[in-house]
Amino acid sequence: MRALSLASRFLITLVVSAVLPLLLYGWFSLLGMRDQIDEQVVRVFLPQLAADYAQKIETRLERTDQACAIVRELSRRVLDTPLDQRDGELAAFGEQVELIPDLLSEFLDLLLLADSEGDVVFWQDGRRLDPNAHQRRAELIPESVAEESWFREAQRERGVHYLPWGRSPYLHRGMDYRSMDPGSHHLGVAMDVPMGDGHSGVLFALIRWSEVQAVIDEARAVLIEEAGLASAQVFVVGRDGVVQAHTDRARYGLMLKPAELGQRLADAEAFGRCESVRDDGVALRVGFAPGGGDSARAFVMGVAVPEDELFAASDDFERVLLLAIIVSIIVLVAWSLAASRAITAPVKSLVQATRKIAGGDLQVAVPERGGPELGELAAAFNLMAHELAVGRDRLAHAERDQAWAEMARQGAHEVKNPLQPMRMTAQLLQRARAEEDPRAEQVAERLARTVIEQTEALDRIASDFRSFAGVAPAQRSDVTVDAWLQALRDQTARLFADKQLTLTFAGAAGDAVVSIEQESMARVFVNLVQNAIEAATEPVIVELGSRREGDHVVIDVVDNGPGVPAEVREKLFDPYFTTKTSGTGLGLAICRRLLDVQGGKIRLESTRPGETRFVIELPIA
């Protein structure tokens, strides 16, 4: 994996140091906010609100019970009055009922009194009912209720008995019709009225249910105005799970949904809450509280709020946090790119300048920018490049001086060797003539031979130094390798005809053509053959071979000599290095120099007693 760039590391550092704390802070704040909403609203507010308004309904029912108890006491006098005197008493009873506060205007929609035989002796409908429908309602009131189950139960059990919630046949026709009007539903209550003769009549009342709906609507108004929960639902269910009041009138008389919520509320014994209840795909949080006791008037008050609305503030905070993180990342990326460019531009300039220096250009300079630190680095780099250039010039000058000194020393040494025998022979001739020695002519002949031999040696030395200087490209020509090597083999064999030499050639380069200076390349092979002859102690066998490898021709020169000692292999191609007692030490150095000038290479491939292999590589023309 490639290492991250400076800009990438800078960006990651910024994101980790700036965005990560913001993300962690926002995340924990969001969790804290949701926990706080869950604690204060779901666990406390909703159940408490349900309990408060359940208590309001309970209080209203108790006030109704108290008002009915007063009517019950007034009813005793009516039922104890003989039938022939009851009309006056009934008129007085009706007046007294009208005087009970809110009884027929707020609490009841129907009040009915039956004697011990079940005959209806008095009835009165509520003041809030439509007065135009009074006659219709009168037609629904029976003359006797003796066969009604509530009448018989009230006489038998005595006390107060509640009828199931719903529509009453004493006020409405068509009992199979499901009404969504709260005014069409009532909670019936029946209580015995003891008489002086030991019998009892029954007082029957229909509690006005619209007032319970008003309590429900009031609770919802509180949720909307004070808590801002516009989608909140408030409802009352009976112990059978049937909706008895709801902010959504369409649910009147239906089973509460979902079924598991209705079952839990029907079984509730104390106020509490339900989490993540789904109704028509909407997740709800529900608070509830039971009321009404254990009789038929028992109910459960429920408050349901959609989770989306309940946690709207936290969701808004989450969106704002997400937007803030995105904006922060964009700003940080832009800033990091700008900042990293300001940092990396000088660094890139230094890298490019370093590569130029590695390529040999020591005149390069970088602008001193990027702040104090990078500016100082650029200045130090420029100073280093300048000192390297000065040092290189000095080193080159020193190397040239040393090379010339070495060349002069070696040249003087090589030239001195041929001059020494020439001077000694000349001095001998001079003394022989001075002494009139009869052998003077012989000495002169000897001097002539010595001069000729030593001048040939001087010419060979000059040729070696000239060859070391290289070959100009204009002197090259294109040759077919195998044909040229075959001719060179024949020429070299004739050159060393007086030596015990076997020279063979095996060509496999085909029609490959190379561009070479033939005379200098011939010198390379002659030099290698001569070295093999001088190192051998037995007849010499030299094998030449050629082959083609890619865009090069490879030439092998293998001899059967004793091999090259390990300690001299690394210095074999160095100038002036030799293991022989005579010569300039430039032989193999000249071979390498000649091949370098012509784009070729030479190397010692392998060596051991009986086989030394030199390899020459030449580019195909």
3-state secondary structure 474-513: HHCEEEEHHHHHHHHHHHHHHHCCCCCEEEEEEEECCCCE
- Asked whether the beta carbons of 46 and 273 are under 8 A apart, the reply is yes
Q: For the chain, which residues make up each domain, given as ranges? A: 6-58+212-315, 76-207, 368-469, 471-619
Which sign, positive or negative, has the C-alpha torsion 435, 437, 443, 444? positive
pLDDT in the model for residue 397: 67
Mean of pLDDT values over 39-55: 79
The tokens 């400076």 sit on which residue? 6
Helix or strand or coil: residue 238?
strand
In this predicted model, which residue has the larger pLDDT, 53 or 178? Answer: 53
Residue 108: the pLDDT is 93
Sign of torsion, CA 209 211 215 220? positive
Cis peptide before 258 (omega within 30 of 0): yes
Q: What secondary structure does DSSP assign to 532-580, as a single string?
A: HHHH-SS-EEEEEEEEEETTEEEEEEEE-S----GGGSTTTTSTT--SS
| The pLDDT value given to residue 608 | 83
Tens of pLDDT along 478-532?
Answer: 888 888 888 888 888 887 878 888 889 888 888 889 888 887 788 888 888 888 8
- Where is mean pLDDT largest: 32-46, 191-205, 456-470? 191-205
Per the prediction, the chain carries an average pLDDT of 79
Q: Which of 453, 517, 448, 461 is nearest to 484 (CA)?
A: 517
Q: With 70 as the cut, is the pLDDT of residue 399 above it?
A: no
CATH architecture of 6-58+212-315: 2-Layer Sandwich (3.30)
Is a pLDDT exceeding 50 seen at residue 2?
Answer: no
Tell me which long-range contacts 482-487 makes (C-beta under 8 A, separation of at least 24).
482/507, 482/508, 482/509, 482/510, 482/512, 482/546, 484/518, 485/544, 485/546, 485/555
Distances (CA, A) of 605 to 104, 341, 382, 471: 127, 52, 44, 25
Distance of alpha carbon 313 from alpha carbon 307, whole angstroms? 11
Architecture field, domain 76-207: 2-Layer Sandwich (3.30)
pLDDT band with cut points at 50, 70 and 90 for residue 339:
low
What burial letters (b/e) apply to 443-480, b meaning 16+ CB within 10 Å? beeebeebeeebeebeeebeebeebbeebeeeebeebe
Which CATH superfamily groups domain 471-619?
Answer: Histidine kinase-like ATPase, C-terminal domain (3.30.565.10)
pLDDT of residue 19: 64
**Same fold across 6-58+212-315 and 76-207:** yes
Spatial separation of the C-alpha atoms in residues 378 and 392, rounded to whole Å: 21
SS3 102: coil
pLDDT at res. 538: 78
pTM above 0.75, yes or no: no
In the numeric block, the tokens 């039971």 are attached to: 290
Between CA 338 and CA 343, with CA 342 as vertex, the angle to 5 degrees is 120
At residue 488, φ and ψ (nearest 5 deg) are -65, -35
At 611 the three-state DSSP class reads: strand
Output the CA–CA distances (angstroms, integers) from residue 276 to 25, 260, 398, in the order listed: 27, 12, 91
Q: Does residue 585 or residue 304 have the better pLDDT?
A: 304
Strand partners, 505: 544
